[in-house]
């Protein structure tokens, strides 16, 4: 356990050491950003939209008891922006992107492709790890705001049919209820989630043991550990946000 923690520490330190010094693999970073976004977009769109509809529908009866259904846009918006969108995006990305990175790098390790890069005077860490971690760190926050937007549209569809509210009034109500801290917290949180998912996927793949079993194990560990860390970070982030609010 301690040895593993030491290895993780070394890996993260190596990331920052390599990240700070050029050259950078610009084309590979852009390709990875596209891959990360493209791989998750459909699932995130569906999940975000359905979550918006379901959350609005489930919240209505409780608010109706107090005659406060007009607060629905605010409630849906805050819930989506503060927690649901970052968490949903991160969990879907951990499943889709984290596993994919773990399997891809694991497979490259097993078939000696990483060694081949090294002996051909190319820094494989820079090409494979730095580019992927930058891609997840940049793309997942963008996907998070996209999820929030799609979720809001889902919520609006439900509100429109039940409360006959216009889209402008719905958005206005949402904008009135959110603060700068909500947006900042959500952005920082999703950057941390993105970094974590990329690092976990890369670490598991890059250090996978030899053999096909190792590739499967790397992909699986990337998802399980990635999701676990996202939940832990969510708890920490919530505590920090409340600290700043009070």
Partner 1 sequence: MTAQKSLPEIVISIRGVKKSFGDYEVLKGADLDLYERENLVVLGRSGTGKSVLIKIISGLLTQDSGTVNVLGKDVSKLGPKELLALRLNVGFSFQNSALYDSMTVRKNLEFPLVRNRKHLTKGEINYAVETVLDAVGLSQTIHQMPSELSGGQRKRIGIARTLILQPQIMLYDEPTAGLDPITCIEINSLINEVQERFHTSSIIITHDLTCAKETGDRIAMLLDGQFQKIGTFDEVFASDDERIKPFYDYNFIV
Q: Which residues bind partner 1 (CB under 8 A)?
A: 108, 111-113, 115-123
Give the residue with the Cβ less far from partner 1, 115 or 176: 115
Give the residue with the Cβ less far from partner 1, 2 or 121: 121
- CB 123 to partner 1: min, Å: 7
Say if CB 50 and CB 154 are below 8 A apart.
Answer: yes
Q: Is 24 helix (H, G, I), strand (E, B) or coil?
A: coil
- CB 212 to partner 1: min, Å: 13
Neighbouring C-alpha atoms within 13 Å toward the C-beta of 47: 20
Burial of 211 (0-12, 13-18, 19+ CB in 10 A): exposed
Q: Six-digit token pair at 31?
A: 């390709």
- CB 120 to partner 1: min, Å: 4
Phi, psi of 68 (to 5 degrees): -120, 35
The length of the chain in residues reads 246
- CB 28 to partner 1: min, Å: 11
User: Residue 177 and residue 77: Cα distance in Å, rounded?
Assistant: 8
Give the residue with the Cβ less far from partner 1, 120 or 164: 120
Give the residue with the Cβ less far from partner 1, 7 or 17: 17
Give the residue with the Cβ less far from partner 1, 22 or 67: 22
Q: Is 94 helix (H, G, I), strand (E, B) or coil?
A: helix
- CB 165 to partner 1: min, Å: 49
């Amino acid at each position: 356990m301690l040895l593993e923690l030491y290895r993780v520490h070394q890996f993260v330190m190596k990331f920052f050491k390599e990240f700070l010094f050029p050259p950078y693999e610009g084309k590979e970073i852009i390709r990875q950003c596209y891959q990360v976004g493209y791989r998750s977009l459909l699932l995130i769109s569906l999940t975000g939209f359905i979550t918006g509809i379901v959350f609005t529908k489930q919240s209505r009866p409780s608010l109706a008891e107090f005659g406060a259904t007009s607060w629905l846009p605010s409630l849906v918006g805050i819930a989506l922006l503060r927690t649901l969108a970052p968490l949903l995006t991160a969990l879907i990305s951990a499943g889709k992107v984290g596993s994919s990175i773990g399997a891809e790098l694991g497979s490259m390790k097993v078939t000696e492709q990483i060694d081949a890069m090294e002996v051909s005077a190319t820094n494989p860490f820079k090409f494979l790890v730095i580019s992927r971690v930058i891609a997840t760190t940049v793309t997942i926050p963008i996907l998070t705001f996209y999820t929030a937007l799609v979720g809001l549209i889902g919520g609006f569809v439900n509100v429109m049919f039940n409360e006959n509210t216009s889209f402008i009034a719905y958005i206005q109500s949402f904008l009135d209820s959110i603060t700068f801290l909500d947006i900042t917290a959500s952005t920082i949180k999703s950057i941390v989630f993105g970094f974590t998912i990329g690092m976990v996927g890369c670490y598991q793949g890059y250090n996978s043991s030899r053999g096909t079993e190792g590739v499967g194990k790397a992909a699986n560990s990337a998802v399980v550990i990635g999701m676990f860390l996202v939940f832990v970070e969510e708890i920490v982030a919530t505590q920090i946000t409340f600290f700043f609010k009070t």
